[in-house]
Amino acid sequence: MKTKILFFLFFSIFCLYNPVKADNQEANLETKVKQVQQYLKENNLPAWLLYDFKGINPIAVDFLNLKGLKTRRWYYLIRAEGEPTVLVHKIEEQGFKNIPGKLITYVSWEDLKEKLKELLSGVKTVTMEYSFENSIPYISRVDAGTVELIRSLGVEVASSADLVQYFQARWDQDQYLSHKEAAQILMKIKDEAFEFIARKIKQKQEVDEFQIAQFIQKRMNESGMATEEVLICAVNENSGNPHYTPSQAESKKIKEGDFVLLDIWGKMKKEKSIYADITWTGYVGEKVPERYEKIFEIVKDARNEALNFLKRRYSEGKEIKGWEIDQVCRDFIEKKGYGQNFTHRTGHSLETEDHGNGVNIDNLETKDERSIIPGIGFTIEPGIYLPYGSKFGKDFGVRSEINIYVKDKEIEVTTLPLQEEIIPILKFR
């Protein structure tokens, strides 16, 4: 009897909870749709057309919070005014029943084209996840054929890059706090890693890159953090490879006189938490050789030039594009004679993914024309990577990475203190 009563109670709660959860999701989406409409009005944009086929556009899938694989093409049109409309295949309409707005279905490809023409009636331009010449690949999610199809119906396609940044890349207060917590933990673990190296060397025990990467990952896990990849501990010539990662099979031993680069990133194990991402460098000794110090000083000064430019322009209320910050940093390194050795962008967006869909600090890999706006976060991380046979006689790379949060009236560096000199690891602590 007791078992039956418990089962009945559990079943009742289950039945009650799920409709409430669905209702909450629908209400949240309705709020987001209204916010999009407000954005469209303020920016004189007629409509946003979301499109996906089997997950090729995660921006659209995330916006609608769709669950489960959808195997047919679907469209969701949000006009600046009026009711939104979703166009889906007849056999998949059940999966869109909680999406706000009018639902229309198609069956054949001819039917799809006719219904799409009906859907876009009266609209001259739509924004989509499209980027001219794929200039921003994070946004360029809609295939060329679909863009051609929309244009064949007499509708122009514009990029949704700014709109997507506004709705996806900005952090709320809880996300900001999650990032700050992650940043503080990473800064502490970075110190622990340098201290661990120092202790192993002083005790004449073997230690290698992979062991340090595993040590860092273990400490992160113990601190309530998660990361998706093997972290970077790079020694000597390996530090000259910006995306080097050690493995158990291939890992360089760390010994006295070595140069060490740590690049570590992660986020709290909480829903919607934001990544922190830092890079610091050290030398296994008590006095850092001049060849390392010289390159570090250039990288540090370039980092500070970019940061000061950002702070100054933002305090003056001037618009700042992502590419402009990169160019300030790049020009500084170029003037010092190492432009050809700075082979990646200055920074990337920080979101629930380490490389998010917001503005990148980039005028190398792309020219990111998106603006720096309140609520977003990103890295500033210049680097110089010297090839074997350089005048310094040995491969190595220097990078200094800090995290930035854009507040309403100021720029905050969330990963303080800034690294001002290479860490002499054997003097650490």
- DSSP code per residue over 333-381: HHHTT-GGG--S-SB-B-SSSSS-SS--B-SSSS---PBP-TT-EEEE-
Q: What is the pTM of this model?
A: 0.89
Q: What is the pLDDT of residue 392?
A: 56
Distance CA 260, CA 237 (A): 10
Amino acid residing at 105 = T
Residue range 76-131, pLDDT digits in tens: 999 999 999 999 999 999 999 889 999 999 999 999 999 999 999 999 999 999 99
E-assigned strand segments in 100-241: 102-106, 125-128, 156-159, 225-226, 232-235
Q: What is the pLDDT of residue 16?
A: 38
Q: What is the pLDDT of residue 253?
A: 96
Residue range 27-64, pLDDT digits in tens: 688 999 999 999 999 999 999 999 999 999 999 999 99
**Band of residue 143 on the pLDDT scale cut at 50, 70, 90:** very high
Q: What is the pLDDT of residue 403?
A: 98
Q: What is the pLDDT of residue 28?
A: 85
Name the residue ranges covered by the structural domains of the chain: 17-167, 170-423
Q: What is the pLDDT of residue 367?
A: 95
Answer for the pair 188, 276: CB distance below 8 angstroms, yes or no: no
Residue 321 makes CB contacts below 8 A (sequence gap 6+) with 359, 368, 369, 370, 371, 372
Residue 120 makes CB contacts below 8 A (sequence gap 6+) with 49, 77, 126, 150, 153, 155
Q: What is the pLDDT of residue 12?
A: 39
E-assigned strand segments in 95-143: 102-106, 125-128
> Spelled out in words, what is the top-level CATH class assigned to the domain 17-167?
alpha beta
Q: What is the pLDDT of residue 37?
A: 96
**Band of residue 393 on the pLDDT scale cut at 50, 70, 90:** low
Per CATH, 17-167 and 170-423 having the same topology is answered no
Residue range 323-381, pLDDT digits in tens: 999 999 999 999 999 999 999 999 999 999 999 999 999 999 999 999 999 999 999 99
Distance CA 219, CA 211 (A): 12
**Domain 170-423: CATH architecture, name and number where available:** Alpha-Beta Complex (3.90)
Range in 14-18, 130-134, 327-331 with the lowest mean pLDDT = 14-18
